[in-house]
Structure 1
């Protein structure tokens, strides 16, 4: 009798769970219920779906929340009703009349390429928008709220970066590039500079890649003040060219100097001069740094010279670069990604001491 009673109890329990689950499906509150469609919810779950302009318009406050310029047009900040922040890169409306089939193909290729990249030190793509009335071509990314590396190194009003955070940023970039170059096929950045490296609240690096057009006016300046010196990206975009650009960035991080002229920008000329310099790197370290480790500076200087070797065949691969930086900084790949715990500050002090 007790056995039958127990079986009945189990049956009633299963029925109760089933009924409760059906009830819950009706009563669940979705994260986007105010002015945002369910498509944006899918953006964080299913990759890079096609989103509606009206949804992005609501998130970006009628596209009034302009936060800067990118190589493809205007950059907006958006906030979903859940509180999640996004960055929306929009192709300029003025391009609608000159938007060619080639540009459309490059736009779609950029979406396809970025959809394959998923790294915590990368500004990951979470959606895109394509509409004809009005003309709309937008890429929707994660939002890194702490500005660009360029601003922190060269704008006096921006927060100063000490030696430890600078090494952490450089190492995070290296791990991210190693991951991208290791994809099949490898993904190389079309534009790697301090203005395309964004920072999170805890100063972790987030590399962005918003450029895709080869049909760029050479007189137009980049967001950091440089003119576009690389019009034909097919000739220069490769893992080896990324290693070169990374070497230039390392020099910028250590010295605090802009490694090119704002009037006649040429990173190639800078590298040629640097290889001939006899001046030790420790004499060129950013004067605003209160402290740093001389042995680390010397090791980074050797790495820079290897990265900017004029012969691309002699440059190290990115996995070698990240391994050498790991040995110099003692920072693992987990240490350099954005942190949720505030304890990382103490860990950073210990690591760089």
Structure 2
């Protein structure tokens, strides 16, 4: 066992705590446990470092002196990240419940408020004086009145119970009926014809396409995404809702069906087509099926693939295609459609590098959010709502969030930097310094690019400035942004030796 150098158990639905015995695998170089349900803290001393000369002082993962790659992202780990792990070359910890660190954590409602436990126990002073504070007179009166009222109610209930028993014994009683709950009094009617125009696919057919649901390409606490191949050869992505049957009320079912109808109406060459949906009772399951572009995501080609596979003309074509599909969603569709989470990781590429957006995040929200609450979060603008909110305002804020996200994607395309990375500064914070000075636009360019259209670069940077405006109402519509890009961005390859080399790649 000590000779093991790689452990890769990501997306295996593991739960429980990380065993400290992992530290005994002295030859371990890669540890990948992302996209599971691991809890507890990372075993290791916060005072330990990877360069410590006292091996006996190291515990847990801090004993792994040869470890160069660790991925614990998208779990439920809490506490603090051991200092010894800061020295590892590749470390990914986002999507957990850590405290006092610079990683991207989960939302508080997903982590729970266990850190608040015990605060009440600390409210008593060292000498116990707080417990002996004299109560004010009015508080004593309120307590007495409350106690008398409760006693009176209990007495009345006892008298009523005795009278009912006498009525039953004499045959004069009224038959008992169960009181209806609030949900039973407010029956949700679901139209069986709501999904009549959306193809329904059987669970058995999807199980055969996805190798008995073993081909997992993504998972979270709310959804699992499978990859499969239909009998006609089409590659598909299947999003399965991770919700128990007792959670799936009529409210959730109606919301699910309306979302299916909403997404099924999309018809654009740069939006992945919805193939159909699956609705099964035994076993209980709700799934949606999309066509799956086979060439990975834009994020992977920009940040994970070594070398420069995306030339400048190809990146400009991708930017124009994304702008066109967003213009279609925001202005040509009525009512407008907004992506739940637009990012380079939600843009998939075909074999000829044509982008197609897939809104997987929309289905995570279906399971993870309370359906009877109202609210919205706006990328870059900050926004919240309490109580009843005008749906038109929410839709406007979601559209503006997409515009902001498009600006971030443009920055990723020209710079080759990820929007969030442990190894580099925050993309927006880094870029704003250069976006303010047109003479410094060149400093934003990806160093892997061998040739760049300077006029197109200037237009892209100006559009980015418009998209990431801190005030959502000042961000232009995608109709205007699309027109600016179509008018000014050149996607052709110039006649030069370097350009001809890029043309061969494009």
Query: Helix, strand or coil: the match of 2:361?
Result: coil
Higher relative contact order (CA 8 A, sep 6+): 1
Q: 1:288 aligns with which of 448, 466, 474?
A: 448
Confirm whether residue 251 of structure 1 aligns to residue 401 of structure 2. Answer: no
- Equivalent residue, structure 2, for 1:329: 489
Confirm whether residue 173 of structure 1 aligns to residue 333 of structure 2. Answer: no
- Equivalent residue, structure 1, for 2:273: 124
Q: Is the 8 A contact 1:147 1:199 kept in 2?
A: yes
Q: Once the 2 structures are TM-superposed, how far is the Cα of residue 311 of structure 1 from its aligned partner?
A: 1.9
Q: 1:319 aligns with which of 475, 479, 495?
A: 479
Query: Helix, strand or coil: the match of 1:280?
Result: helix
Q: Once the 2 structures are TM-superposed, how far is the Cα of residue 301 of structure 1 from its aligned partner?
A: 0.2
Q: Distance in 2 between matches of 1:230 and 1:67?
A: 32
Q: Once the 2 structures are TM-superposed, how far is the Cα of residue 77 of structure 1 from its aligned partner?
A: 1.7
- Equivalent residue, structure 2, for 1:202: 352
Q: Is the alpha carbon distance of 1:235 and 1:174 closer, same or farther for their aligned partners in structure 2, counting shifts above 3 Å?
A: closer
List aligned pairs for 1:184-333, cutoff 5 A. Answer: 184-212=334-362, 213=365, 216=368, 238-261=398-421, 270=429, 273=432, 277-278=436-437, 280-330=440-490
Tell me the alpha carbon deviations over residues 159-193 of structure 1, each in whole angstroms, 9 at most, x when there is no partner. Answer: 72111111111111111111111211011111100
Q: Distance in 1 between matches of 2:221 and 2:477?
A: 27
- Equivalent residue, structure 2, for 1:161: 310
Confirm whether residue 87 of structure 1 aligns to residue 248 of structure 2. Answer: no
Q: Is the 8 A contact 1:153 1:253 kept in 2?
A: yes
Tell me the alpha carbon deviations over residues 263-307 of structure 1, each in whole angstroms, 9 at most, x when there is no partner. Answer: 9x999x749956975472211211111211122111100010011
Confirm whether residue 148 of structure 1 aligns to residue 297 of structure 2. Answer: yes
Q: Is the 8 A contact 2:216 2:226 kept in 1?
A: yes
RMSD across aligned positions (CA): 3.5
Q: TM-score, normalised by structure 1?
A: 0.69
- Structure 1 gaps of 5+ residues are 1-45, 218-228, 333-345
Query: Helix, strand or coil: the match of 2:368?
Result: coil
196-205 vs 153-162, greater mean Cα deviation? 153-162
Q: Distance in 2 between matches of 1:71 and 1:295?
A: 45
Query: Helix, strand or coil: the match of 1:146?
Result: coil
- Equivalent residue, structure 1, for 2:217: 67
- Equivalent residue, structure 1, for 2:127: none
Q: Once the 2 structures are TM-superposed, how far is the Cα of residue 211 of structure 1 from its aligned partner?
A: 2.3
Q: Is the alpha carbon distance of 1:276 and 1:178 closer, same or farther for their aligned partners in structure 2, counting shifts above 3 Å?
A: closer
- Equivalent residue, structure 1, for 2:107: none
Aligned length: 279
Q: Is the 8 A contact 1:121 1:207 kept in 2?
A: yes
Q: Is the alpha carbon distance of 1:214 and 1:110 closer, same or farther for their aligned partners in structure 2, counting shifts above 3 Å?
A: closer
Q: Distance in 1 between matches of 2:247 and 2:440?
A: 50
Q: Once the 2 structures are TM-superposed, how far is the Cα of residue 254 of structure 1 from its aligned partner?
A: 0.8
Name which one, 1 or 2, has greater alpha-carbon Rg: 2
Q: Distance in 1 between matches of 2:396 and 2:341?
A: 10
